[in-house]
Structure 1
Amino acid sequence: MLRRANGSSKNIPLKQIKVSTKIHSFAADVTITQFFHNEEQTSIEAVYCFPIEENAAVYAFAAKIDDREIVAQLKEKKQAQREYSDARILA
């Protein structure tokens, strides 16, 4: 789900989804590609939420926004939240 970061309950519409899976013995490598579309006339700040199983792990994340590709640096949650808050203050 992609929702506005300002606390609004309005979600950004999911337009398309693609899933590919590779099975390796007792593990699966799953790639999910989701396409969202901001129907607003202006840019928005959004939060991406995706529920995963307790024993699952995310090892890569990339987002393409217009012509830019953003590749995530995976970090512990608390550290990532601190860095995000600090960056917003500096912006």
Structure 2
Amino acid sequence: MIDKKTIEHIAKLARLHITEAEAAQYSAQLEKVLHNFEQIAKVDTAGVEPLITPTEIEAYWRDDEAKKDFTAEEMTANAPSRTGNLFKVPPVV
């Protein structure tokens, strides 16, 4: 059971300030969540194969091919300001 004291401890670790009413509310909500997990844990999964993905879609992988589509001059041609083949930007302090 998650009591108010545990909720306050978790809030302190997370550096959250919660009221007494919020602590009681969170305690009740977390109790419901844990109850749901207990129900899920009771489900018999013997003989069920684990899934990597929830669907039967197979990944499509393409071969990586190194290709040069544009030259450095073409890539910087529309730049508002450049120095050689580099973009010129304002200094960052």
**TM-score, normalising length: structure 1:** 0.20
Higher RCO, 1 or 2 (CA under 8 Å, sep at least 6)? 1
Question: Whose radius of gyration is greater, 1 or 2?
Answer: 2
Q: Which has the higher strand share?
A: 1
**TM-score, normalising length: structure 2:** 0.20
